[in-house]
């Protein structure tokens, strides 16, 4: 099939208005950090699963690669085309239906193009909670959240996107529809295809809809902010909080002084509290199923115990929802504040919670020995063992120059330690294009072999988001599609 016949077929499938070609497609072609600038053959915007399946079948027939895209808010350039101008971007953004809410079963079925915020709001309207929560929730889509197994701030209580999904609808590389939507909490009828597609970053098929797990809304939610002398104390506070609050602990975020100082510098209106007195602060959230008073008593009991044990030096508890939101805004402001300070070297790592203080100590020592003036921002989801361990250029130097010159060596230093501690070089951001060539150095060769075998089995023509997660492989000789 020629390119022209393919485009003609695609226009017949989704309508002329939804096959975009030519100039003006930058928002689909570059990642939002603007690290990668690609060029699409076309951007195709199906309105339904049937249309998406027809698009994939046509592309398979024409042997044209497909790059699925949601809100394009990813951090590893996993949803943008390469520069060849030969790849079709499949935008799911028109598929925004909330297909069903079953409040009694505590599930909802939504299409991939719903933003995370739309999903949260639809759940709230049914009196329930969809707990996934991230900075980009206003524009990221649930399809993208699942394709990348997004994490966020509530993982310590509710798990990652994976744990919040009960069933999927997927279009395969051959354009077939797997109708795996399900509100079942137990189903042992064969291989776990759901979890295979979740986190595969569009390289095995396209998620078009999902059945999500909902929770009762907390009756009361309280947020505390505490100052601490070191990470060891933060880690001990986490242990105490898990013991006393159990599932009531719904957030546990740690931030070092440098991270908060950048918020104070670039976003002074957010007024980060306590950061000048101690090297570390923790934001701790309690979600309670009984009452505001019960929540307050529990939280105060925890903080008193922590003060008595010498784990914390100071603490405040937000007195209102507004105050709690203001504290969360400080935490979420770190991303923007560090961007304003100049592009930095990001490391989204996870380590066993028990080893985190030691990891940070050794990583800091190794970096400061080789690059004495770098500034290390350490913050993140301590409750999940997930740190954003970011390295900012020395003051007085240009970020772009410094990163170009030292970036690779710095990241290798960090990742070597991550490996030594049995950690992960991508806790929640995924691999995409940006970490694809780094992955083989840190992942088990057997795991990579298994991944490649699965990729070839489900996408023998190598057309699904090629070059993401795994380096693009040539199509199997004679592969014509069909999963068998």
| Interface pick for a second copy out of 138, 452, 471, 476 (rule CB under 8 A) | 452
Cα(250)–Cα(383) distance, rounded to whole angstroms? 9
Q: How far is the CB of 71 from a second copy (least distance, A)?
A: 17
CB atoms within 10 A of CB 102: 13
Using the minimum distance from each CB to a second copy, give the nearer residue, 285 or 428: 428
Quick one: which segment of 24-32, 96-104, 111-119, 393-401 binds a second copy (CB under 8 A)?
96-104
Q: Does the footprint of a second copy cover residue 478 (CB under 8 A)?
A: no
Choices 32-40, 364-372, 397-405, 439-447 (CB under 8 A): range interacting with a second copy: 439-447
DSSP, res 218:
P
Taking the alpha carbons of 252, 253, 256, 262 in that order, is the dihedral positive or negative? negative
Burial, 27: exposed, middle or buried (Cβ in 10 Å; 0-12, 13-18, 19+)? exposed
List 13, 223, 424, 461, residue binding a second copy (CB under 8 A): 424
In 3D space, the residue among 126, 136, 19 whose CA is nearest the CA of residue 75 turns out to be 136
Q: Segment near a second copy (CB under 8 A), from 38-46, 82-90, 132-140, 440-448?
A: 440-448
Q: Which is nearer to a second copy, 206 or 263 (CB)?
A: 206
Judged by CB under 8 A, does residue 353 bind a second copy? yes
Does the footprint of a second copy cover residue 477 (CB under 8 A)? Answer: no
Neighbours of 348 (CB within 10 A): 21
Q: Is the dihedral of CA 419, 424, 429, 430 positive or negative?
A: positive
Stretch of residues binding a second copy (CB under 8 A), selected from 35-43, 321-329, 399-407, 416-424:
416-424
For 302-353, give the DSSP string: HHHHHHHTTS-SEEEE-SSHHHHHHHHHHHHHHHHHHHHH---B--EEE--G
Local structure of 157: helix, strand or coil: helix
Q: Decide: is 144 part of the binding site for a second copy (CB under 8 A).
A: no
> What Å distances lie between residue 126 and 140, 214, 216, CA to CA?
22, 10, 10
454 near a second copy, judged by CB under 8 A: yes
Q: Is 101 in the site for a second copy (CB under 8 A)?
A: no
Q: Are 283 and 223 in contact (CB under 8 A)?
A: yes
Site for a second copy, residues 368 to 397, rule: CB under 8 A: 381, 384-386
Residues between 148 and 167 with contacts to a second copy, criterion CB under 8 A: 148-149, 151, 155, 159-160, 162-163
- Specify the pairing of strand 40-44 against strand 87-91: parallel
In this chain, which of 59, 60, 303, 425 binds a second copy, going by CB under 8 A?
Answer: 425
Q: Is 83 an interacting residue with respect to a second copy (CB under 8 A)?
A: no
Q: Does residue 75 belong to the site contacting a second copy (CB under 8 A)?
A: no
| Comparison of 50 and 247: residue with beta carbon closer to a second copy | 247
Q: Should residue 73 be labelled a site residue for a second copy when binding is judged by CB under 8 A?
A: no
* Beta bridge pairs of residue 212: 108, 165
List the interface residues with a second copy, window 167-186 (CB under 8 A).
172, 176-180, 182-186
The nearest distance, CB 215 to a second copy, in angstroms, is 8
- Least Å distance between CB 1 and a second copy? 24
Structure tokens at 237: 């506070």
Sites for a second copy among residues 214-243 (CB under 8 A): 215-216, 218, 235, 239, 242-243
Give the burial class of 264: count Cβ atoms within 10 A of its Cβ; 0-12 exposed, 13-18 middle, 19 or more buried. middle
The residue count for binding a second copy (CB under 8 A) is 96
Backbone angles phi, psi at 249, to 5 degrees: -75, 110
Alpha helices in 69-129 (DSSP H): 116-125
Minimum Å gap between C-beta 405 and a second copy is 27
Is residue 281 a contact point for a second copy (CB under 8 A)?
no
Does 141 contact a second copy by CB under 8 A?
no
Per CB under 8 A, 192 contacts a second copy: yes
**Residue 382 DSSP symbol:** G
Which residue from 185, 205, 201 is spatially nearest to 193, judged by alpha carbons?
205
212 touches a second copy (CB under 8 A): no
- Considering only 368, 409, 453, 471, the residue that binds a second copy (CB under 8 A) is 453
């Amino acid at each position: 099939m020629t390119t022209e016949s393919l485009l003609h077929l695609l226009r017949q499938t989704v309508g002329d208005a939804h096959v975009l070609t030519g100039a003006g497609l930058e928002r689909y072609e570059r990642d939002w950090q603007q690290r990668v600038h690609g060029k699409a053959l076309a951007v195709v915007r199906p309105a339904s699963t049937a249309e998406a399946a027809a698009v994939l079948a046509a592309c398979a027939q024409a042997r044209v690669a497909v790059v699925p895209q949601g809100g394009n808010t990813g951090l590893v350039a996993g949803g943008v085309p390469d520069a060849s101008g030969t790849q079709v971007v499949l935008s799911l953004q028109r598929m925004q239906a909330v297909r069903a809410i079953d409040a009694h079963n505590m599930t909802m079925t939504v299409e991939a193009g719903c933003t995370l915020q739309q999903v949260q709001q639809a759940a709230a309207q049914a009196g329930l909670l969809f707990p996934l929560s991230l900075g980009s929730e206003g524009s990221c889509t649930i399809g993208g959240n699942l394709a990348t197994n997004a994490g966020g701030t509530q993982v310590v209580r509710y798990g990652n996107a994976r744990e919040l999904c009960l069933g999927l609808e997927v279009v395969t590389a051959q354009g077939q529809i797997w109708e795996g939507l399900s509100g079942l909490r137990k189903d042992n009828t064969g291989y776990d295809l759901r979890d295979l597609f979740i986190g595969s970053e569009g390289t095995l098929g396209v998620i078009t809809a999902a059945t999500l797990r909902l929770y009762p809304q907390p009756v009361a939610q309280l947020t505390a902010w505490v100052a601490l002398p070191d990470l060891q104390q933060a880690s001990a506070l986490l242990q105490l909080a898990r013991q006393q609050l159990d599932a009531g602990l719904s957030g546990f975020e740690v931030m070092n002084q440098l991270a908060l100082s950048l918020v104070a510098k670039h976003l002074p209106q957010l007024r980060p509290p306590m950061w000048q007195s101690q090297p570390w602060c923790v934001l701790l959230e309690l979600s309670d199923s009984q009452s505001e008073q019960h929540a307050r008593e529990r939280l105060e009991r925890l903080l008193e115990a922590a003060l008595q044990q010498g784990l914390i030096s100071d603490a405040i508890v937000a007195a209102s929802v507004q105050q709690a939101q203001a504290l969360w805004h400080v935490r979420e402001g770190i991303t923007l504040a560090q961007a304003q300070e100049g592009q930095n070297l990001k490391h989204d790592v996870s380590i066993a919670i028990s080893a985190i203080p030691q990891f940070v100590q050794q990583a800091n020592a190794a970096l400061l020995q080789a690059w004495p003036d770098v500034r290390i921002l350490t913050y993140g989801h301590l409750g999940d063992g997930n740190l954003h361990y970011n390295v900012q250029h020395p003051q007085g130097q240009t970020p772009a120059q410094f990163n170009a010159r030292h970036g690779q060596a710095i990241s290798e230093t960090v990742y070597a330690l991550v490996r030594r501690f049995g950690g992960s070089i991508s806790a929640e951001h995924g691999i995409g294009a940006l970490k694809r060539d780094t992955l083989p150095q840190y992942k088990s060769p057997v795991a990579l072999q298994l991944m490649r075998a699965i990729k070839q089995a489900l996408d023998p023509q190598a057309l699904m988001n090629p070059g993401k997660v795994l380096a693009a492989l040539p199509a199997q000789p004679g592969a014509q599609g069909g999963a068998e």
